[in-house]
Amino acid sequence: MSNNRRDFLKKGALLGLSGLAGALVGNNQNNPLETVSSFWSDPTTPFTLPPLPYATNALEPFIDKLTMEIHHGKHHKAYVDKLNGADLSTLDLSKSDEEKCRSVNDKTPTIIRNNLGGHYNHSLFWTLLKPNASAAANIPSGPLAESIINYYKSFDEFKKEFSDKAAKVFGSGWCWLIVDDNGRLKITTTPNQDNPLMKVAAEQGMPLLALDVWEHAYYLKYQNKRADYIANWWNVVNWEKASQLFAASKK
Ligand code: MN3
């Protein structure tokens, strides 16, 4: 459920949803809830910065507190603010952010492509990280682990290929593990804030893992040593979340 929808339902519950809907919808033939939702959401701020699902220092020693504060509170917030300030008339705001990303093509305005991507990618990235201060062994299990071994022979082979591709992204971008429409796993990269849901992506699919290799994701702690950041990132990958995404992709 989007934050907008959640806020709307909260407000709707407080005010008495049916009376409100009846009063506002009039003769509109659309779904009354969608109509009220778009009416009720502040039209100047349809996108919201999601809170981190852990404290900013929770990913230490692998990702430091200051990087997380700036990455979430400044960079991600800037994507949300720029998106809210853009002409959103080319987007269907009643759709999920995932569906909005799927609608991005080569005619989509750059401000939407970059900032919708920035917002979606970071929202996903935070949930695909988890604290692991003790550096306990961190590997996938269940069907996702079986599929990784099926496609990459071993987890170590998979890890090596993913790390190599992430290290070789030129400039700013992302490295992904995706599952395509045929259920195949692929390791892909995208430039800037593009993602594999977008029609502009060279290889499309549902993201299961997301690694931000923009310098802002690691420079304070790792400076130019992107490979060290990538090596440490494996400690804090949230494989439980990745497994949930994999299971959902099969439905
Ligand atoms: Mn980033």
**Residues 15-37: pLDDT tens digits?**
333 333 333 333 334 443 433 44
Interval between CA 227 and ligand 1 midpoint (Å):
16
Average pLDDT, the chain: 88
Own/partner pairs, 199-205, CB within 8 angstroms, 24+ separation = 199/102, 199/103, 199/104, 199/105, 199/106, 200/104, 200/105, 200/106, 200/108, 200/113, 203/178, 204/178, 204/180, 205/178, 205/179, 205/180, 205/181
Position 178 pLDDT exceeds 80: yes
Interval between CA 122 and ligand 1 midpoint (Å):
6
Confidence band for 42, pLDDT divided at 50, 70 and 90: low
* Amino acid 251: pLDDT: 81
In this prediction, residues 55-83 reach a mean pLDDT of 98
Residue from 130, 120, 119 nearest 233 by CA:
130
Interval between CA 17 and ligand 1 midpoint (Å):
38
Position 1 pLDDT exceeds 80: no
Q: Spell out the residues 6+ positions from residue 14 whose beta carbon is closer than 8 angstroms to its own.
A: none
* Amino acid 47: pLDDT: 97
* Amino acid 45: pLDDT: 82
Interval between CA 135 and ligand 1 midpoint (Å):
23
